[in-house]
Amino acid sequence: MSLQSEILEQPACLQALLRSHREKAQENTAAIKARNLKYVFLASRGISDNAGRYANYLWRAFTPG
């Protein structure tokens, strides 16, 4: 499996994950919002570091203010 093929699988994998874990994702979202967090710190190494950077980008893009 190549890096490109893994990247191209991501949308379908994420869709399946959200479909099968929608209720838990909504519970987690509500719990996070209830805490009124101001900051989040992600710690990672290797390829996970790229995922953390992307998550940071998405949070900034979709967080008001």
Structure confidence at residue 65 (pLDDT): 67
How does pLDDT run along the chain (65 residues), one tens digit per residue?
Answer: 788 888 899 889 989 988 999 999 899 889 988 998 888 788 888 888 888 888 888 888 887 76
Entry pTM: 0.49
Contact 34, 44 (CB under 8 A): no
Contact 42, 55 (CB under 8 A): yes
Local structure of residue 51 (DSSP, 8 states): H
Angle at 53 between CA 50 and CA 58, to 5 degrees: 125
Longest dimension (CA), the chain: 41
Contact 39, 60 (CB under 8 A): no
